[in-house]
Amino acid sequence: MSDPSVRLAPAFAASSPRRRRLRSPGARALLFCAPALVIYSTFMVWPLLQSLRFALLDDAGDWVGLDNFDKLFGDPLWSERFWRALRQNMQFFLFHCLVQNPVGLTLAALLTVQRLRGANVYRTLIFVPTTLSVVIVGFAWRLILSPLWGIVHTPLLGRTSTALPTLSLISVWQWIGIPMIFFYATLISIPKELIDASRVDGASAWRTFWRVSFPLVLPMFGVITIVTYIANMNAFDLVFTVQGVQAGPAYSTDLLGTLFYRSAYGSVQGGGDRAMGATVASATFAVILVGLLLFFLVWRRRVRTYQL
Amino acid sequence: MQTRKLMAGVLVAGLLAAACGSGDEDAGGGGGGDGDAVTLVVESWRADDKAVWEDTIIPAFEESHEGIELEFQPTAPTEYNAALENRLDGGEAGDIIACRPFDISLELFEAGHLEAVDDLEGMDAFDDVARSGWVTDDGATTYCVPMASVIHGFYYNKDVFDELGLEPPTTTEDLHTVLDAIAADGAATPIAQGTVDQWDIAEVDYTGIGPNYWKGEEGRQALIDGSAQFTDPEYVAPFEELATWGQYMPDGYEALSYDDAKVLFTNGDGAIFPGGSWEITGFERDAGFELGVFAPPLPTDGDPCYISDHVDIGMGMNADTEHADEARTFLEWVASEEFAQLYSNELPGFFSLREGAVEVDNALADDFVSWRDDCESTIRLPAQKLNRGDPAMWDELYAVSSEVVNGTLTPADAAQRLQEGLDSWYTPSE
């Protein structure tokens, strides 16, 4: 055999035992993963663990065990803030689910219509807001919704009853491109034969969509919902940009993220407490973790996936 | 989806800030003089004033004080508190420290970073209100020389007033007559203000008109020593007045910000803007009409008047400075009448806290400062002692004041909530 690698192999082995060790797939995998692993651990895992540790210390850095959590859930002042933020955060999430999934799916379904002219243009336009900075989106919508120079004269962002739904819809408007693209990708991956077969059997387009396409898209709902859940539970920037650190009016747009910020860094006139900030952050982390577990236990088991 | 990274981002940012903070470079360090001259480094958050310091204030000082040179080294306002604390802890801070009012500087003094300044020449020209921002709780020690305050008041559009034949109001009743007349005419919005930012409703409106009801310092001290409650009529009455203002604000005022209101007013579409002296420079630049100001209206004609003359900036000395004598010399100059004249005129709207008349060239600033002749000065109600606990009084006041204007909270309930919040952590000091 004149395969050069075979001839070269002994030379490699002789020159460096380390190189030979690297030829094992496990070691090589580790080598290639190392840069990402180091960066991820340094900037994600370690700070996360530190943050959890800070929740067990007081503001001066002395060990207090679970006292901070006792304060967060036991002190009426803090527990009211926390539960209000959590409740409003859940509403924020619910608005997303109720609006972005159906609308995203509808847009995706429309984009797959065969004779739709300019489908690519629509797809791009709908996706564009996703690429914008939240600061720009928040600023633009504040102007659009300004009763003074905007298009509506109702102070949607100024009333406790409408502020949170309005913010949720702004957020949906910004991120709708993501579910749309996910659904679109799933829809176009459905083999034509299935659709054709359904039509040959005499099913209407409507029926074909609900009985053939929809069950195949359903698992995607779960993925999008869970990604949305994580994003929503960590949401902060939009409220901060549009309503400010006090999440007004009357804290009606306060989410876990803004509560965290006020707890850790203080409100407008100062007065932050790093320990309570870390405690709120840890509680938020727990909320997300519980949500994820529920998702995996319930949704994953219930939903059937089909091998195409 | 991007927000998923937020928590990690915030943590990383915090980490980096902590890492960088301790290594923060600073040219201060007590300042080595060149030749025989000693250089004093001045720390401040007023980056906006750098030009005024370098072009006017520093030359004026150096001219009369040979052998001492000054270097003005401002830090951005939002970073000042943390950066200064780091530098003081690390022994790298400048010799002269611009002092924020109340608790922020009090903490620095208690940590031993600031020196007492009571014995400086000229300090007797500052009364208790002027010193209130930089004095220990027992009132015994002052640790910064009071430099300037801002005064709250109402700007008005003289063109609108002249056209309708209106005079600036002196009583609450007059105010309502004026507001109704402007509303009936319909050309301009009576009050250019919105409630979404909250702070302006609390700081400018409530603590602006309030002193006339609670008799300034008397009412503020009564809350601090526990002899009065927020639920007493003199603290509820300003809320009752504010509850009537919503109808005079632009449509959808619940979603308008302070900046929206400024644009509305300077465009000529608003008749009255509740604000403060800090807007003078900006308004004179932007407004295309003649501006006037009037003081917070009196509940009853002939009552003594009170104004919110809020202490805002002082100057203290770094306890670790190597040039203590020179620093004292500079602070005595800051306490002098010469400095008061210079500063008040170079920065119209920021008024010297020194007793005795200061001549201000700017007409609007002069109007503001003239109220001191007839009215008693006080500071913003929650600023001293009442904001230390949780819930912080400012936070509460922001929320309830704007709710009162929005009509979603009654004045009585607002007062009740403030008192309950205060009771939950505050024990009157005397």
Tens digit of each residue's pLDDT (9 = 90 or more) over A68-126: 999 999 999 899 999 999 999 999 999 999 999 999 999 999 998 878 888 889 999 99
Q: Which residue of A has its CA nearest to B7?
A: A234
Task: Indicate if the pLDDT at residue A214 is higher than 60.
Answer: yes
Q: What is the ipTM of this complex?
A: 0.78
- Closest residue of chain B to A269, computed from CA coordinates: B394
Decide if B424 and A146 are in contact by the 8 Å CB cutoff. Answer: no
Chain B residues in contact with A267 (beta carbon < 8 A): 392, 394-395
**Residues in chain A closer than 8 A to B204 (CB atoms):** none
Of B8, B15, B252, which has the smallest distance from its Cβ to A153's Cβ? B252
How near does any CA of chain B get to the CA of A24, in Å?
34
Nearest CA in chain B to A267: B395
Under a CB-based contact definition with an 8 Å cutoff, are residues B371 and B378 in contact? Answer: no
| pTM of structure | 0.80
Q: Chain B residues with CB inside 8 Å of A237's CB?
A: 2-3, 6
List Cα–Cα distances, B192 to B245, B263, B264, in angstroms. 10, 9, 7
CB B253 within 8 A of CB A147: yes
Contact assignment for B403 to A251 by CB distance below 8 Å: no
Please check whether residue B304 is in contact with residue B376, taking contact to mean a CB–CB distance below 8 angstroms.
yes
Distance CA B404, CA B242 (A): 7
Average pLDDT over residues A195-208: 90
Residues from chain A that touch B251, judged by Cβ atoms under 8 A, are 147, 153
CA distance A276 to chain B (A): 12
Q: How confident is the model at residue A270 (pLDDT cuts 50, 70, 90)?
A: low
Average pLDDT, integer, range A239-252: 88
Inter-chain residue contact B6 with A237, CB threshold 8 Å: yes
DSSP reduced 3-state for A236: coil
Among B8, B387, B408, the residue with its CB nearest the CB of A250 is: B408
B19 touches chain A (CB under 8 A): no
Tokens standing for A75?
């002190």
B253–chain A Cβ distance below 8 A for any pair:
yes
Tell whether B422 is within 8 A of chain A (Cβ).
no
End-to-end CA distance of chain A: 43
Question: How far apart are the C-alpha atoms of B46 and B107, rounded to whole Å?
Answer: 20
pLDDT digits (tens, 9 = 90+) for A134-188: 999 999 999 999 988 888 888 999 999 999 999 999 999 999 999 999 999 999 9
b vs e for A243-257, b when ≥16 Cβ sit within 10 Å of the residue's Cβ? bbbbbbbbbbbbbbb
Per-residue confidence (pLDDT) for residue B19, from 0 to 100: 43
Say if the Cβ atoms of B256 and A146 lie within 8 Å: yes
Contact assignment for B251 to A249 by CB distance below 8 Å: no
Q: What is the mean pLDDT of the segment spanning B56-65?
A: 93
Q: Which of A43, A228, A248 is nearest residue B8 as measured by Cβ atoms?
A: A43
| DSSP element (H, E) containing B68 | strand B68-74
